[in-house]
Chains A and B, each alone.
Chain A
Amino acid sequence: MRGLYAGLCSLILWSGSALAQTPVYVSHLQGAFQWDLQPFTTENAPESHVLTCGGNSVTVPMPATSTPITDVVPGPGQYTCVLYAQNGAGRQAEPDVPFPLFESGYVPGQPFQLQVLAEPEPPVMASRLQNGITTHSGVTNMTRAFSSNVSSGSLLVVSAARWRSFDSALYIAGDLTKSAGTATIGSPTLHYSAAAGSHQVVGIWSVLVTGSGSLTLQVAHPSGGTYGSVVAAEYSGTWDSSRTEASNTGTGTGAAADSGNATSAGAAVFIGALTTDHSGTPALTEDAAFSLLGEDEDASARIQHAAIERIVASGTTDSASWTIGASTWVTGVVVFKEASGGGGAASSRYHYVANQ
């Protein structure tokens, strides 16, 4: 087979060099392979071209010199494809002709519900996406697995309380880590840690999700014999490192546990945590303005621990408080606020381009 050769191969929308390893990005549904023919005679006219991408191959009869990507590869992905010409006498003598490396994918869907508003929409208030508690007995490290994937940008708030014989060492920020999952998180901040008596400690951390996915958090301890629980909650919103607005702590004995007031200037999430040195199972009844994130009342098996939340839309002063069985208690409240204005003044947040 003499001189039968598929000439310049190209992808529609191709704009790069075949030598470069950076793939050409094309719409999977709209992209197409296209090639040119070298001059031929009746003796060496190609009858068809065979296009191969990995294990997929299609034959394109003449006179067509193009074919949609969707006719060759099954779905979006990065592909290396080659082409050769053939007729009744055989295939081209020269090696297969490569197309540029390309990656196909789907273009985004079109926006909808377009509106013209006289005023900017108010920022969406933070909301709780999920929460729960996991109890542990006689372990070294306590964990809590989120039941659903966490989302990038979310705020995670964690409260842990532990009992360990004659161990009142307070928590540190680094005690909270990711132990499993596909999500990624930032550096945790410890907002509060206190001991109630000689054996039990409570803490409140927060950390931002930097990559969505599954997540199990771990509250570590250097040695075993720990009894306690971990409460974790996820909040949507616009969060950054300036999220801590206020905090307060309380300690005492008796049936009324109170953190003392903390104040938000605007919309905020109040988080309270409590532990007691009670050895029985009296109820922990939280402040009516708060919602329960998780609690373990069974101090006969572990340690009493509760974490509560109050989401407010405007400036608020409140404390985290409980009615408990008379005992020694420690409690803290932390106020989290979203990033200023949900991201700052809108007029400075967009890149202005004047088309010429």
Chain B
Amino acid sequence: MRQKSLVAAITCVIIAGLCTASGHAQTVIAIPLTTATLTWTIPAADATHGAADSHIVTCGANSVTVPIGMVPNNSVLVSSIVPAPGVYNCTVHAQNVFGSSTTEAFPGFEAGYPPLSPTNPQIIVP
């Protein structure tokens, strides 16, 4: 009985350790601020879900509304939501006159500017 408890305790520690390690290992995606987009797939209406009127993408304190009639209606430029480079966590939810869907999270990302091109390339002969 004591052995069983010990095994269970060790298993819990290992699992907890793996979870923690996994959480720490999660990489933040690096993306160019000016061209990167957030995209999502819109589910079809079914027996218990209506059609969306729009989707709301939120990054921190900022959000954009993407009407369903927009083309495209399932993506948005990151630069139209976030004002400057930085690490962001963004979410999206659908809404219609009856309410909102649950909110889904995008992968975390860090938006930044690609470096400028080098100038004056030369071949030096010593």
Interface residues of A (CB under 8 A from B): 25-30, 76, 103-121, 123, 238, 339, 342-343, 346-347, 349-355
Looking at the assembled complex, report how far the CB atom of A124 sits from the nearest CB atom of chain B, in whole angstroms.
8
Tell me the bound Cα distance from A351 to B43 in angstroms: 23
Quick check: is B11 within 8 A (CB to CB) of the other chain? no
One of B44, B49, B72, B78 near A107 (C-beta < 8 A): B49
Please name the residue on chain A nearest to B80 by beta carbon: A350
Could you pull out 17 A-B pairs where Cβ atoms are within 8 angstroms? A76-B50, A106-B49, A106-B98, A107-B94, A111-B43, A112-B104, A114-B106, A114-B107, A116-B38, A120-B77, A121-B39, A343-B71, A350-B64, A350-B70, A350-B76, A350-B80, A354-B61
Asked whether B104 lies within 8 Å of A104 as measured between CB atoms, the reply is: no
Tell me the bound Cα distance from A345 to B64 in angstroms: 16
Note all chain A residues with C-beta closer than 8 A to B113.
none
Asked whether B79 lies within 8 Å of A116 as measured between CB atoms, the reply is: no
Asked whether A107 lies within 8 Å of B98 as measured between CB atoms, the reply is: yes
| Of B13-21, B28-36, B118-126, the one with at least 4 CB within 8 A of chain A | B28-36
Q: Decide yes or no: A120 and B75 within 8 Å by CB, A110-B102, A112-B104 being known contacts.
A: yes
One of A110, A120, A351, A354 near B93 (C-beta < 8 A): A110
Note all chain B residues with C-beta closer than 8 A to A118.
31-32, 35-36
Looking at the assembled complex, report how far the CB atom of A103 sits from the nearest CB atom of chain B, in whole angstroms.
8
Note all chain A residues with C-beta closer than 8 A to B106.
114-116
Quick check: is B66 within 8 A (CB to CB) of the other chain? yes
One of A106, A111, A119, A339 near B50 (C-beta < 8 A): A106
Note all chain A residues with C-beta closer than 8 A to B80.
346-347, 350, 352
Note all chain A residues with C-beta closer than 8 A to B93.
110-111
Asked whether B97 lies within 8 Å of A119 as measured between CB atoms, the reply is: no
Tell me the bound Cα distance from A351 to B70 in angstroms: 11
Asked whether A114 lies within 8 Å of B97 as measured between CB atoms, the reply is: no
List B residues 36-93 near A (Cβ within 8 Å). Answer: 36-46, 48-53, 55, 61-66, 70-72, 74-81, 92-93
Chain B interface extent, by class: 35 or more
Asked whether A343 lies within 8 Å of B72 as measured between CB atoms, the reply is: yes
Note all chain A residues with C-beta closer than 8 A to B101.
107-111
Tell me the bound Cα distance from A117 to B80 in angstroms: 14
One of A106, A343, A352 near B70 (C-beta < 8 A): A343
Asked whether A349 lies within 8 Å of B70 as measured between CB atoms, the reply is: yes
Asked whether B97 lies within 8 Å of A105 as measured between CB atoms, the reply is: yes
Tell me the bound Cα distance from A350 to B104 in angstroms: 20
Tell me the bound Cα distance from A351 to B63 in angstroms: 9
Please name the residue on chain A nearest to B108 by beta carbon: A116
One of A107, A112, A121, A347 near B99 (C-beta < 8 A): A107
Note all chain A residues with C-beta closer than 8 A to B38.
114-117
- Given contact pairs A114-B104, A350-B80, enumerate 12 new A-B contacts (beta carbons under 8 Å): A26-B99, A27-B98, A105-B50, A108-B50, A109-B101, A111-B93, A111-B104, A115-B106, A238-B71, A339-B71, A350-B64, A351-B64
Note all chain B residues with C-beta closer than 8 A to A116.
29, 31, 36-38, 78, 106-107, 109
Asked whether B109 lies within 8 Å of A113 as measured between CB atoms, the reply is: no
Please name the residue on chain B nearest to A105 by beta carbon: B98
Asked whether A26 lies within 8 Å of B77 as measured between CB atoms, the reply is: no
Asked whether B98 lies within 8 Å of A351 as measured between CB atoms, the reply is: no
Please name the residue on chain A nearest to B66 by beta carbon: A350
Q: Decide yes or no: A347 and B77 within 8 Å by CB, A112-B40, A121-B37 being known contacts.
A: yes
Looking at the assembled complex, report how far the CB atom of A239 sits from the nearest CB atom of chain B, in whole angstroms.
10
Q: Which 7 A-B pairs have the closest CB atoms?
A: A343-B71, A108-B52, A108-B94, A111-B40, A109-B43, A109-B49, A106-B50
Tell me the bound Cα distance from A26 to B100 in angstroms: 11
Note all chain B residues with C-beta closer than 8 A to A115.
38-40, 106-107
Asked whether B96 lies within 8 Å of A112 as measured between CB atoms, the reply is: no
